[in-house]
Amino acid sequence: MTNNRTRTKFYFGALSLAVILLFVLDIVLGSVYISIREIFNVFFSADKVEPHISNIIINFRLPRACVALLAGVALSVSGLQMQTVFRNPLADPYILGVSSGANLGVALFLLGSSIFSIILPTLVSNFCIASAAFAGSALTLFLVLIVSIRIRDIMTVLIFGIMFSGAATAIVGLLQYMSSESALKTFVVWTLGNLGNATFDEIKIMFVITLTGLTIVIFSIKKLNVLLLGDVYAQTVGVNLRLTRTIIFMSTSLLTGQVVAFCGPIGFIGIAVPHIARMFFRRADHRILVPACILLGANIMLFCDIVSQIPGYNIVIPINIVVAFVGIPVIIRIIFSNKKIINE
Amino acid sequence: MNKQSIKIENLSLGYENSANAKHELFPPFSVTAGSSQFIALVGRNGVGKSTFLRTLAGLQNIFSGNIFINGKAASRLLRKDYASLISFVSTEMVRVMHLKVFDLIAMGRYTYTNLFGNLSVNDEKIIVDSLEMTGMSDFMWRNVSELSDGERQRIMIARALVQDTPIMIFDEPTAFLDIPNKYEIILLLKNLTRQKSKTIIFSTHDLNIALHLADKIWLMANRKMYEGTPSQLIKTNAFDEMLANTVLKMENGEIKFK
C-alpha cells in the first residue's frame, strides 16, 4: 500500500545504528586520549582503571553525551511541531518566546545579583541558573497559553511571541548594560550553550521531561498531520483547535524549556533538523517525521558535540557556534530552494 | 421533496468586533436543503456567501437564528459531530511540500481512525475508491505541490468524500479553473448527489452553471435571500435584483449585456 515502505524502514534502522555509533564516539573522542579498551573496562570490567580516566568517562563524557542526545531530540521535535502549527518553514522551538523568557530569568539572576552586589558562590550557581531559566520558560509558557486560548488567529499568537521576546531582550539589554564585567561574561558564556553542565540528577530530570514531552507529541501526531492543511480543514475534519494548540504548545515548552535550562539557548538544531528529515524521507506525514526528527536530532547533536571538543586539543568550542555552522547551510538551502515548503 | 438535510430559520449573518459590538451583514432569512439536492449559492462579491457557508460548516458562530442539520440544532453540535455531518472544501490552496496525495486524502478519515491515525484496510479501500470516483487513481503517490489547480481541486473533493458525510459544502470550487475543468468538476459534484446521495451546497459566480446544473439556487442580493429552482427564480425576476446597477441583465434565462 505505502510506497517505499522498505526504504523508510532502512533509513530508520541506519539512523538508529548511527545514534549508537555517535554516542560511543562522543565518549571515546575528547581532549584526553582514552583507548576503547579502557572505556570498556570502566563500564564492564572490574579490572583496575586509573581513577582519573574513570572520572573523565563517568563524570564528564557520559553525562555530556546523554545531554547532547536528549537536547538534540527535544529541540528537533519541538521545531517540527512549531513549523507545522505555524505553517512556517522558518519557525523554531523558540518562536513562542521560551528562550527569551529563559534568557530573562537567567539575566535577572546573574546580572541582577551583580547589580545589587550579591556575591554568588560558584557551586550553587549552576543549578540556580537552570532554575532561573526554567522559571523564565514557565512564565512564558503561561503567557502563551493564556494568549492562545483567548485568541483564535495563530498569526496573532506568533506576533505576541515576537513582541514578548522583544520586551524580554530589552530588559536583558538593560541588565547587561548595568551589570559588572564578570557577571556579564558568565551570562554571555551561558548564552553560547553548554552541554557539559548538567549533573546526573539533572540528567534524570531532563530524561523524565523529554520522555513526557515526547509522549505528548506522539499522541499529537494525528492532529499535527491535519494541521498541515490549515485551521479550516483541521476544524472541519473534527479537530478542536484550541485544545490541540494548547497541548502542542505545552509539549514544546516543556521540551525546549528544559534544554534551555540545562544547556542554554541552543539554536539552529530546532529549525534545521525538521527540514533535514523532510529532505531525507520526502514525506510530510508526522508518523514518519516525528521518529525521523528524534533520530536525526540525536545524531546531529552528538556529531556537533564531537566536533565541539576537537579531539586532541584542550579546548571546547561553545556548542552554539558548532551548531550554527551545521545549521546555517541547511537554512540557506531552504531559502534558496525555489520550491516553497508551505505556500498560502 | 424528500427529507430535509438542512433547515435554516431566521439566520442572520454578521460579526462581533473586539468591543463586542454586533455588526449585521445580512438580515434574517430562512431556506432549506433537501436530501441529495445540488444547490448553488450565488450572489455578488462581499454579499456574505463565504460567511454563510462558513457558518453552515460550523467554522463561525451563528450570529442569530437557527440551523438544523439532519434535525439536530447546529449550535449544540460538537466539532466531531460536525465532522460526521458536513465536509467542507474552501478556496484555500494546499501546497505542502512532500505531502503525498494519499496522505492528504487520508486526513479526511480523521474521526474514523485510531489515536495514531493508522488506517484500516477499510479506510484504505475508501481512499482508493474516492480516488477512482474523482478520476485521480494514477496520482495516489504524487506530491500535492506538483499538481495543477484542477487536479488539486479533485484531490480536495476526494478528501471531503472519504469523510463520508451526508452534506458537502464547497466554497467556489471552480474559482481557479479553466472552462473544461470548471464543468468537469461541477458535473463530478452533481454526480455525487445522484450516485452517492450527497447533499451538496456550492457557491459560484458562474450563473450558467447555477442555472443549468443546480437543482435549487440560493440567491443573495440586496440584503434578501431568494430560494427556488432556476426556472422559479427566472420567473420571479430574482436575478434582476442581483444584476441591478451592472452592465448585465437576465433575459429569457440568459445573461446579456444591457
Report pLDDT digits (tens) over B159-216: 999 999 999 999 999 988 899 999 999 999 999 999 999 999 999 999 999 999 999 9
Give how far the C-alpha of residue A240 lies from the chain's centroid of Cα atoms, to the nearest Å.
Answer: 28
C-beta separation of A50 from A34 below 8 A: no
The Cβ of residue B129 has, within 10 Å, a number of other Cβ atoms equal to: 14
Q: Please give the torsion angle defined by the CA atoms of residues B209, B214, B219 and B225, in that order, rounded to the nearest 10 degrees.
A: -170
Nearest to A228 among B90, B96, B116 (CB): B96
Q: pLDDT value at position B244? A: 86
Q: pLDDT value at position B1? A: 44
Residue range B27-31: mean pLDDT, rounded? 95
Query: Does pLDDT of B67 surpass 80?
Result: yes
List the alpha helices (DSSP H) in chain B: 49-56, 79-85, 101-106, 121-133, 149-162, 179-195, 207-213, 230-235, 238-243
A218 touches chain B (CB under 8 A): yes
Q: pLDDT value at position A32? A: 78
Report pLDDT digits (tens) over A218-262: 999 999 999 999 989 999 999 999 899 989 998 998 999 999 989
Q: pLDDT value at position A121? A: 61
Per-residue confidence at A58, pLDDT binned at 50, 70, 90? confident
- Backbone region of residue B253 per phi and psi (left: phi > 0; alpha: psi in -120 to 50; beta: other values): left
Q: pLDDT value at position A123? A: 53
Q: pLDDT value at position A341? A: 47
A287 contact residues in B (CB cutoff 8 A): 116-117
The Cβ of residue B35 has, within 10 Å, a number of other Cβ atoms equal to: 17
- Any idea what the Cα angle at residue A315 is, between residues A313 and A318, rounded to 5°? 135
Q: What is the CA radius of gyration of chain B?
A: 19
Q: pLDDT value at position A42? A: 81
Half-sphere exposure of B202 (CA within 13 A, CB side): 30
Q: pLDDT value at position B201? A: 97
Q: pLDDT value at position A120? A: 62
List the alpha helices (DSSP H) in B136-178: 149-162
Query: Does pLDDT of A330 surpass 50?
Result: yes
C-beta atoms of A225 and B117 within 8 A: yes
- Any idea what the Cα angle at residue B92 is, between residues B89 and B93, rounded to 5°? 105
User: Which residue's C-alpha cell is 505541490?
Assistant: B145
What percentage of residues in chain A have a pLDDT greater than 90?
42
B109 compared with A134, residue with greater pLDDT: B109
Phi, psi of A200 (to 5 degrees): -60, -40
C-beta atoms of B83 and A238 within 8 A: yes
Report pLDDT digits (tens) over A73-130: 999 999 999 999 988 888 888 888 888 898 899 888 888 777 776 666 655 567 788 8
User: Which residue's C-alpha cell is 425576476?
Assistant: B237
Half-sphere exposure of B227 (CA within 13 A, CB side): 11
Q: pLDDT value at position B256? A: 86
DSSP category for residue A102: H
If contacts are CB pairs under 8 Å, which of residues 208-237 in chain B contact chain A?
none
Q: pLDDT value at position A339? A: 53
Q: pLDDT value at position B20? A: 75
C-beta atoms of B115 and A343 within 8 A: no
Q: pLDDT value at position B2? A: 53
Per-residue confidence at B120, pLDDT binned at 50, 70, 90? very high
Per-residue confidence at A57, pLDDT binned at 50, 70, 90? confident
